């Protein structure tokens, strides 16, 4: 559905901007548990950078860089990070998501273990949100044919 328009201005600006956008996204994710921001917001910013790639370089180029399978994998990996952090606590004998217990395996006291646990969750959420936003966008622009078309 997307017509490919080769525009040197847009492409160049995107080339310059995208790394910064991504860096900012990572910043928001990484500081989410201590200041405004977090996985959702950071994930969205990250996703925006990939959307920019699609817009500027066209779908084919974008697909070459991140295939549907990869996006899908990332969306699951994010949730796995989230869920496994919770499971770790569960396996260590505490309730689900009780990161304080991670102090048993991390070189930190429960307060800091909770801190790291939340950080891991934020990272997971960020990855998932990014992947899901990208796949939503790609699915919508291709009308869902993307997944069915042979790679």
Partner 1 sequence: MIAEQFPALIIVFPLITALLINVVGWWWIRPCFYMSILALAVSFISSIGILNTVVTQGIIHYKLGGWDPPWGIEYVVDHLNAFILVIVSFIGLLICIYSKKGIEQEMPKKIPQFYSIYTLLVMGLLGMTVTGDAFNLYVLLEIASLASYALIAMGEDRAPLASFNYLIMGTIGACFYLLGVGYLYIVTGSLNMADLSELLPKLYHSKAVLVAFAFFLIGIGIKMAFFPLHVWLPDAYTHAPSSVSAFVAGTMTKVVAYVLMRVMFTIFRPYFSIELIPATTVLGWTAVAAMMYGCVLAIAQHDLKRMLSYILIAEVGYIVLGISMANRMGLTGAILHIMNDALMMACLFSVAGAIMFKIGNRDITNFRNQQLNKKMPFTMAAFTITALSVIGIPPTCGFFSKWYLVIGAIDAQQWVFAVALILSSLLSAIVFFKVIEKIYFKPREPVHPDSGGTHEDVVMDEAPISMLIPIYIMVGGILILGILSGKIISTVIQFAVPASF
Partner 2 sequence: MIEYIIAKYNYWAYIVLMMIGFYAMIGKGNLIKKLLGMNVFQWAIILFYVSTSVKKGGATIPIIQNGHGPVTHAVDVAQYLNPLPHVLMLTAIVVGVSTTGVALSLAIMIYRKYKTLEEDEILQSEEYEALKPEE
CB of 56 to partner 2, least distance (A): 22
Which helix (H) or strand (E) segment holds residue 132: the answer is helix 110-142
Q: Is 32 or 49 the residue whose CB approaches partner 1 more closely?
A: 32
CB of 149 to partner 1, least distance (A): 13
Q: What is the DSSP string of 10-37?
A: HHHHHHHHHHHHHHHHHHHHHTTTTSS-
Q: Is 36 or 150 the residue whose CB approaches partner 2 more closely?
A: 36
Stretch that binds partner 2, among 3-11, 29-37, 61-69, 86-94 (CB under 8 A): 29-37
Euclidean distance between CA atoms 66 and 130, whole angstroms: 12
| Residue 38 φ/ψ region, left for φ over 0, alpha for ψ in the -120 to 50 degree band, beta for the rest | left
Burial class of residue 148 (count of CB atoms within 10 Å of its CB; 0-12, 13-18, 19+): exposed
CB 30 within 8 A of CB 120: no
CB of 101 to partner 1, least distance (A): 8
Query: Contact letters (x/-) for partner 1, 44-73, by CB under 8 A?
Result: -------------------------x--xx
Q: Which two tokens stand for residue 60?
A: 């084919």
Stretch that binds partner 1, among 18-26, 27-35, 44-52, 77-85 (CB under 8 A): 77-85
Q: Which of 6, 16, 35, 151 binds partner 2 (CB under 8 A)?
A: 35
Q: Is 19 or 34 the residue whose CB approaches partner 2 more closely?
A: 34
Residue indicated by tokens 């396996």: 91
CB of 134 to partner 1, least distance (A): 15
- The residues of the shown chain that bind partner 1, judged by CB under 8 A, are 69, 72-73, 75-76, 79-80, 83, 86-87, 89-90, 93-101, 148
């Amino acid at each position: 559905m997307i017509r490919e328009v080769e525009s040197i201005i847009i492409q160049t600006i995107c080339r310059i901007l995208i790394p910064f956008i991504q860096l900012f996204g990572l910043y928001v994710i990484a500081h989410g548990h201590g200041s405004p921001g977090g996985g959702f917001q950071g994930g969205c910013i990250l996703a925006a950078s990939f959307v920019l790639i699609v817009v500027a370089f066209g779908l084919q180029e974008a697909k070459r860089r991140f295939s549907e399978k990869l996006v899908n994998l990332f969306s699951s990996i994010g949730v796995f990070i989230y869920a496994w952090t919770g499971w770790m606590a569960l396996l260590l004998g505490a309730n689900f998501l009780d990161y304080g217990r991670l102090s048993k395996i991390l070189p930190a006291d429960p307060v800091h273990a909770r801190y790291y646990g939340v950080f891991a969750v934020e990272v997971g959420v960020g990855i998932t949100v990014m992947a899901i936003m990208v796949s939503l966008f790609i699915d919508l622009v291709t009308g869902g044919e993307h997944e069915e078309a042979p790679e």
